[in-house]
Structure 1
Amino acid sequence: MKTNITKAFMALAFVGGLSSCSKNEGTESIPENPGNYIVAVTPVASTGVADYLLTAGSLESGTVSIAGNGVEQDGTYRYYVTHNNKFFSMLYGQGNPGAVTTYNIANGKLNKLSNFQTETVQAFAPVNDDLLLVKIPRNIASPLATWYKVNTNSLLITGEGTINVQAPSNNGESAHFSWIKQVGNKVYAPYFSIKACCGDSFGTDFPDNAWIAVYSYPEMQLEKVIKDDRTSFIGRYFVDGLGLVENGDVYAFSSSVATKGGVLTSTKPSAITKIKAGTTEFDKTYFYNFEEISNGYVITNWIYIGGNNFVAHVTPKASKGAYVVGKELAIVNVVDKTFKKVGGLPAAANISSITTNNYTIKDGKTAYLGVNLTDGTSFVYKVDASNQTATKGLKVEGGLITTIQNIK
């Protein structure tokens, strides 16, 4: 992650008319279930392996398998985002530049559009017609984060710059963005304050504060920091803690997992706060005490499904941790301040993981999540918020589901 991007990497290597059948070249054999849904699968193996991208015509029934199917990705630790009807596969380079591969779907099959390299990044999100990528330093002696702007029409890197991550808090620590999100014509970057030194890189002396840095776009100039002391930091490492609803209000969740010396230190509850549309301040009249309303759970992730409803990953407070992902689901309505557990899932003890990069049609009730079981089987589950039930759907053979998306 220390390697600087070069102009050579900024040139895209466009790939067209691929006809080879070699998986080593990233092409796809005829899938069992062609369609417009994309399921990323990590094969079960004892050593580092590359993901496969499978297509599916339905998420509610049938079976797909990586055996003889799918597009094998180049390298391990892939992350995915969909924007402008394209699917972007991003390699976490483990200290090296990371490849970004772009696909669309033609006749139910993945079609590679481009392949290029940037620095490995720790936060990325759609902004206007772009993908904004941010590489965030973890060393107090290196205060500059680097951002890149990828236009999703031209598939070119059309801008880059730096951000001083010690400027937002000005407290002797660095701001590490948990994620980024477009809100109006601004970029909101919730962050956790980290020492970035001294053998406790992710530790902090400020465990009971929440911050959102607000940047102009496309200039990425710091305009303001929105602050609150009712919760710990917003989101989690590599987790989007902001939810933008239809009326423009922004909701923010905190898991209350700030640490010092590897020990949880925040005294604040897991909670949800709010920024009213058209303002850049936390609404002090709104507070959703998640631990209290849920009777002892904390929120670890969520997906907005419309109608002020989120499907939230939750875990009992006794089991929370900086990197613990909930193996239970709940429907959370942020306006009504309600919490309703989702039934129909396997017992948490039988679940190895639930995917956090998931698909919703944003109808206020429907989401599709991958559930990987301890017995090695994996399924897509359809969550219906109207009756708080999860129904088993598509079976995925050969590995663990990591992502579920859809493009037209």
Structure 2
Amino acid sequence: MQKKYFTQALAVAICSANLFSSCSEEHVTGNPGASATGTNQYVIAAKTGDATYLITSESLDEGTITSVGKGTETIGGSYWVFYGTDYLFSLKYNNGEAGTGASYILEQSTGKPAEHNSYTFNRITTYGIWGNNVITASTNNGSKETDGEHFAKYLQFNYLNATNGKTTTGTQIAEDFLGNGEFVSFAGFVEANNKLYTSVIPMGMSHYGVNTFPDKITDADLVAKSDGGSGSGSYTAGQIPATQYPDKAFIAIYNGNSFNETPTIVETDKIGFACGRFRSQYYQTIWAADNGDLYVFSPGYGRTATSSSDLKKVTGTLPSGVMRIKAGETSFDSNYYYNLEELGNKKPMFRCWHITQDYFLMQMYTDGVAGMMNGKNAVVTELAIFKAEDGKLTTVSSGLPNQSSITSLGTPFCTNGVAYIPVVTNDGNYPALYKIDPATAIATKGISIIADEVAAVGLLSPKSF
């Protein structure tokens, strides 16, 4: 049997502010709380050859399905976002150029996925849902606010309306966003408590920042003396390429329905910045529990910023940790903090997702802190369950394939109190979904998929055009 692969969603990521070049990996945002009842169908985006197809299934727990000669052909995508059970968005990154995308519905008359709307939009590095829109953000050079020589950096937003197919855009200056002179990017969006939360990542000081806010340079030796780096991590002399604040986390809270307002900024120095990164793309490590409490997870990637002979960086010291902003509050809960590296198998986290209640699925560095420092060669095939209220981390040690045979883990689909995660092995079997029960931390093999890659799993309800 030919070996088949799930897309390894961010499987070599490291949240070092300027490390990797652009990417085309595929990620998915799920629709928790939904189930395939009546005419609802699970929808799986599977790639065979150069084509990506949407195929349907009534169950994720058993059987085998194929994309060969089946399903609805799509434009493909760098990101897959389920907007509830109404729409599936496919967003194509296009290597840093303007993006293209489409939304799909489960067509009522045929019971098959069909294209609903098409979109064009600006470059994406993070994404989510806000009201009627799928939203995206990235940080780019602007066209104003110059220091006489360099453009300031701007946060650039896209609002993709799910119902009418319209795309609107917006911008906000990213320079000195936190009052520390650094420009920022956003990482992940969480809609909860009638608010929008996003993790704000300080990225260092641009040429504009260095020239405009010289009093906010903490150490003159941090300013690059020569050009260096590569891809999205490249830099030129005269800027500070990495954050001066690796051991701080910042959350912006928006109360309205657009990024035009001034957000409330919540800050802590108990954990490092809350994000993950693959090349120029970001994924979120902030999630809301069912009661609205926001849990902010930090992998502790500040430790990976190390100085070289030609560039000095501020190296973080904080481990993987989690803090909480209680529902309705605008400050971190001073009584809540857990060092994740003191729990379970005592390893740093790589990624995380909310499953149900206050249970979170954690993807861990298999080889511990040493593995994290290994960068793109790190092994991240270990899973754990974190019970947030209790501060308990339990390794998923039963039901998964042998650790030695797992080659990658995909992005989970969390529904009905459990998580379905794609698992790829090197033992000759096709990729399969494994159902993980958070209460027991036990995995059970579910459906297998015959395809080259599987990019998304979720649920759609029938709709008419």
What band does the TM-score fall into relative to the shorter chain? 0.7 to 0.9
Q: 1:138 to 1:229 in 2, by over 3 A?
A: farther
2:441 to 380, 383, 388: 388
Partner of 1:149: 159
Q: Within 1, Cα distance between the matches of 2:254 and 2:116? A: 31
Partner of 2:269: 229
Cα deviations by residue, 1:170-227 (Å, 9 ceiling, x for unpaired): 3332212121222333322202221376545463222111111223432312222111
* Offset of residue 141 of structure 1: 4.1
Q: Structure 1: which amino acid aligns with 2:431?
A: S
SS for the counterpart of 1:178 is strand
Q: Within 2, Cα distance between the matches of 1:138 and 1:187? A: 25
Q: 1:349 to 1:108 in 2, by over 3 A?
A: farther
* Offset of residue 325 of structure 1: 7.1
Q: 1:279 to 1:73 in 2, by over 3 A?
A: same
Contact 1:179–1:189, Cα closer than 8 Å, also in 2: yes
* TM-score, structure 1 as length reference: 0.82
Partner of 1:333: 387
Residue 130 (structure 2) pairs with residue 127 (structure 1): yes
2:114 to 102, 111, 122: 111
2:305 to 260, 265, 270: 260
Contact 2:72–2:114, Cα closer than 8 Å, also in 1: no
Partner of 1:209: 248
Partner of 1:347: 402
Partner of 2:101: 100
Q: Within 2, Cα distance between the matches of 1:168 and 1:142? A: 12
Equivalence map 1:372-383=2 (5 Å): 372-375=424-427, 377-383=430-436
Partner of 2:322: 272
Q: Within 2, Cα distance between the matches of 1:350 and 1:138? A: 44
SS for the counterpart of 1:166 is coil
Q: Within 2, Cα distance between the matches of 1:325 and 1:276? A: 33
Of 86-95 and 317-326, deviating more is 317-326
Aligned-residue Cα RMSD (Å) equals 2.5
Cα deviations by residue, 1:98-139 (Å, 9 ceiling, x for unpaired): 111111113441111111211131121111222222132279
Contact 1:37–1:56, Cα closer than 8 Å, also in 2: yes
Which is strand-richer, 1 or 2?
A: 1
Q: Structure 1: which amino acid aligns with 2:186?
A: F
* Offset of residue 68 of structure 1: 1.2
* Offset of residue 251 of structure 1: 0.5
Cα deviations by residue, 1:324-354 (Å, 9 ceiling, x for unpaired): 5731111110001111111211123322211
Of 193-202 and 229-238, deviating more is 193-202
What are the ranges of 5 or more consecutive residues in structure 2 without an aligned counterpart? Answer: 1-38, 143-149, 207-226, 234-240, 309-313
Equivalence map 1:177-188=2 (5 Å): 177-188=186-197
Q: 1:164 to 1:374 in 2, by over 3 A?
A: farther
Equivalence map 1:314-325=2 (5 Å): 314-315=364-365, 316-321=368-373
SS for the counterpart of 1:291 is helix
Cα deviations by residue, 1:281-327 (Å, 9 ceiling, x for unpaired): 11111001100012421122222121211121112332125665731
What are the ranges of 5 or more consecutive residues in structure 1 without an aligned counterpart? Answer: 1-33
Q: Within 2, Cα distance between the matches of 1:359 and 1:299? A: 19
Equivalence map 1:68-83=2 (5 Å): 68-74=69-75, 78-83=78-83
Q: 1:108 to 1:298 in 2, by over 3 A?
A: farther
* Offset of residue 87 of structure 1: 0.5
Partner of 1:56: 57
Partner of 1:194: 203
Contact 2:291–2:357, Cα closer than 8 Å, also in 1: no
Q: Structure 2: which amino acid aligns with 1:69?
A: K
Q: Structure 2: which amino acid aligns with 1:119?
A: N
SS for the counterpart of 1:179 is strand
Contact 2:345–2:395, Cα closer than 8 Å, also in 1: no
SS for the counterpart of 2:95 is coil
Cα deviations by residue, 1:230-269 (Å, 9 ceiling, x for unpaired): 1111121222211111222110100011343589932101
Q: Within 2, Cα distance between the matches of 1:332 and 1:108? A: 37
Contact 2:102–2:117, Cα closer than 8 Å, also in 1: yes
Q: 1:196 to 1:80 in 2, by over 3 A?
A: farther
Contact 1:138–1:196, Cα closer than 8 Å, also in 2: no
Equivalence map 1:159-170=2 (5 Å): 159-170=168-179
Aligned length: 366
* TM-score, structure 2 as length reference: 0.73
* Offset of residue 168 of structure 1: 2.4
Q: 1:183 to 1:143 in 2, by over 3 A?
A: farther
Q: Within 1, Cα distance between the matches of 2:414 and 2:103? A: 21
Q: 1:50 to 1:167 in 2, by over 3 A?
A: farther
Q: Within 2, Cα distance between the matches of 1:351 and 1:58? A: 24
Equivalence map 1:14-33=2 (5 Å): none
Q: Structure 2: which amino acid aligns with 1:286?
A: Y
Q: Structure 2: which amino acid aligns with 1:352?
A: T
Cα deviations by residue, 1:152-184 (Å, 9 ceiling, x for unpaired): 222222x42112222322333221212122233
Q: Within 1, Cα distance between the matches of 2:157 and 2:120? A: 14
Q: Within 1, Cα distance between the matches of 2:61 and 2:40? A: 13
Q: 1:359 to 1:138 in 2, by over 3 A?
A: farther
